[in-house]
């Protein structure tokens, strides 16, 4: 009997389009002889639509989009009633990035419904998406990272001058302003002076009410993928060579102006230390399935964890699949298969626990 794989894509998130690109690649890589593959499109209003079983290759992301007249509640009810048969084996692959997909909310829903799913659980997802909470946790575990501070919207509204002066005293210029819980470089700006800082804060608060402000670290941007459950493994280190000062949304997903160098040019000692820190980060966040750990590496090979991504992109430009291909020749379809197997492993372990007293 084939396993039903429900690939969630789109979502009520600024990373809606990125999710569709990831989902199309995942859907195309799944073995249709082994799986029944169902794309589940979630509109940017949060309305769910089951697009039916896929047999052919997805060539355009528009094929994954559907305009529904349902409400959010009725659309989810329709999906649940029509999609799952207890006599069949089902699994959800949340190819969702950012809000309502990578933040623990969809994971919580699937936990309540007792449906296995790919990737990290509720706590790991919720912590991992919040850059401030992640950095606070990493600081307690001595994971190397740059200087940072947080800024809440109500603090900003109460006293803008005090907020700016505090940032200037603790971080200085240049500084990077980021929404705390968004990915794909959305809402991020580099600030060289007070005027730019104020404008960047104003823009970032249009996305959410908590920001992280970080010092600038001059260095190369590198990434490591960690895959596994109880015994995770780290990939080799990969590097992006870029034309821009930092990797914005267009550079990552639109204009292709990034060059992957795998493995990155590092001494063996530093490379191994970075892999150890990546696994430690995975363990600290209690991750399962996968995570991508992003670094800054200076010219003298000091390294700092920049952030983690608990559901990294799986587009044709994404680093995660490329890292594993260079690490142990794992192909894209094999990596997807491994993540599905890890998801069932985690689900079966959780099912073995007692939920009531004898």
Q: Answer yes or no: do 242 and 317 share one domain.
A: yes
Q: Which residue among 22, 24, 163, 318 is the active-site one?
A: 318
Q: Answer yes or no: do 204 and 228 share one domain.
A: no
179 falls within a domain: yes
Percent of the chain with pLDDT over 70: 94
- C-alpha 180/C-alpha 151 separation (Å) is 9
Give the model confidence (pLDDT) of 116-170 as tens digits: 999 999 999 999 999 999 999 999 999 999 999 999 999 999 999 999 999 999 9
> Is residue 45 annotated as part of the catalytic site, yes or no?
no
> Is residue 288 annotated as part of the catalytic site, yes or no?
no
Q: Which residue among 22, 43, 125, 184 is the active-site one?
A: 184
Give the model confidence (pLDDT) of 250-275 as tens digits: 555 455 567 889 999 999 999 999 99
Q: Answer yes or no: do 262 and 307 share one domain.
A: yes
294 is in an annotated binding site: yes
Q: Answer yes or no: do 323 and 336 share one domain.
A: yes
Q: Answer yes or no: do 78 and 178 share one domain.
A: no
Could you tell me the residue range of the domain that residue 110 belongs to? 3-117
- Give the mean model confidence (pLDDT) for residues 211-229: 96
Number of domains observed in the structure of the chain: 3
Q: Which residue among 13, 15, 235, 239 is the active-site one?
A: 15
45 is in an annotated binding site: no
Contacts of 27 (CB under 8 A, 6+ apart): 7, 37, 39, 54, 58, 64
Residue after which a domain boundary falls, among 162, 187, 215: 215
27-31, 118-122, 242-246: least confidently modelled range: 242-246
275 falls within a domain: yes
CATH number of the domain that residue 109 is part of: 3.40.50.20
> Is residue 268 annotated as part of the catalytic site, yes or no?
no
Contacts of 11 (CB under 8 A, 6+ apart): 19, 42, 44, 46, 96, 97, 98, 99, 100, 101
Q: How much is the pTM?
A: 0.90
Q: Answer yes or no: do 66 and 103 share one domain.
A: yes
Strands 303-309 and 289-297: antiparallel
């Amino acid at each position: 009997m084939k396993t039903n794989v429900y690939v969630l894509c789109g979502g009520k998130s600024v990373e809606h389009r990125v999710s569709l690109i990831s989902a199309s690649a995942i859907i195309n890589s799944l073995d249709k002889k082994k799986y029944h593959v169902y794309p589940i499109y979630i509109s940017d209003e949060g309305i769910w639509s089951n697009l039916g079983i896929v047999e052919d290759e997805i060539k355009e992301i528009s094929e994954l989009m559907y305009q529904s007249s349902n409400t959010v509640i009725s659309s989810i009810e329709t999906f649940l009633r029509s999609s799952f048969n207890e006599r069949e084996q089902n699994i959800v692959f949340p190819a969702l990035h950012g809000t309502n997909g990578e933040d623990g909310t969809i994971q919580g829903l699937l936990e309540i419904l007792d449906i296995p799913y790919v990737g990290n659980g509720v706590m790991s997802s919720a912590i991992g998406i919040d850059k401030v909470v992640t950095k606070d946790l990493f600081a307690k575990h001595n994971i190397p990272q740059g200087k940072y501070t947080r800024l809440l919207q109500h603090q900003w509204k109460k006293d803008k001058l005090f907020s700016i002066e505090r940032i200037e005293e603790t971080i200085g210029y240049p500084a990077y302003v980021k929404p705390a819980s968004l990915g794909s470089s959305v809402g991020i700006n580099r600030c060289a002076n007070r005027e730019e800082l104020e404008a960047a804060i104003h823009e970032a608060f249009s996305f959410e009410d908590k920001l992280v402000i970080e010092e600038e670290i001059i260095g190369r941007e590198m990434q490591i993928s960690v895959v596994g459950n109880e015994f995770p493994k780290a990939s080799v280190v990969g590097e992006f060579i870029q034309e821009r000062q930092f990797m914005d949304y267009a550079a990552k997903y639109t204009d292709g102006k990034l060059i992957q160098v795998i493995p990155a040019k590092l001494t063996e000692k530093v490379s191994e230390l970075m892999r150890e820190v990546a696994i430690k980060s995975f363990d600290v966040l209690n991750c399962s399935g996968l995570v991508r750990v992003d670094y800054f590496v200076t010219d003298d090979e000091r390294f700092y964890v920049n952030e983690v991504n608990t559901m990294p992109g799986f587009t044709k430009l994404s680093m995660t699949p490329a890292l594993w291909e260079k690490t142990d020749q794992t192909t894209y379809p094999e990596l997807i298969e491994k993540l599905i197997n890890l998801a069932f492993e985690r689900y079966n372990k959780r099912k073995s626990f007692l939920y009531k007293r004898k």
